[in-house]
Amino acid sequence: MSDISFETAERHVLGLGCERGTPPAEVLALAVEALRAAGIDGADLVAIASIDSRRHEAAILAVASHFAVPAVFFDAPRLEQETRRLKNPSEIVFARVGCHGVAESAALAAVGADAELLLGKIKSVHATAAIARIGLQKA
């Protein structure tokens, strides 16, 4: 995991996947829809996560900038390690990028081993989004 500082009692990461060249407005609208569906506010996010092949994708970076959180990226083998925890694994995605899901896997990978999906994958025309969370134990 990247060096993300989590200061809230509950951590939320928005996982995103998109086709190359997807308009930032489409991905941002999907992100807002995902937050609404999960019942959380953008201020509750600590990161945006995706596959490393989207590291320079304008839409992913625009969403991270909009919510003023870091974007973190994982390679396909790391995302594939999350397959058993996915709500919506996809053979089509596996054939294209080498893992059974991007949005759900990236969100889970960013939050860690004790993460759970708060919101399974939702879709727009060219993108996917999911939200993972973990509650922190208070000392």
Provide block-wise average pLDDT over 10 residues at a time, the chain (139 residues).
52 96 98 97 96 97 98 96 90 84 95 92 97 68
Question: Cβ atoms within 10 A of the Cβ of 136, count?
Answer: 12
Strands of the 127-135 sheet, one edge to the other: 71-74, 45-51, 10-18, 127-135, 116-123
- What is the reported pLDDT for 9? 60
**Tokens representing 94?**
């596996």
- What is the reported pLDDT for 77? 96
Q: What is the pTM of this model?
A: 0.87
- What is the reported pLDDT for 90? 83
- What is the reported pLDDT for 92? 86
Domain boundaries, the chain: 20-116
Q: What's the Rg (C-alpha) of the chain?
A: 13
Whole-number Å distance between alpha carbons of 26 and 83: 26
Give the CATH superfamily of 20-116: CobE/GbiG C-terminal domain (3.30.420.180)
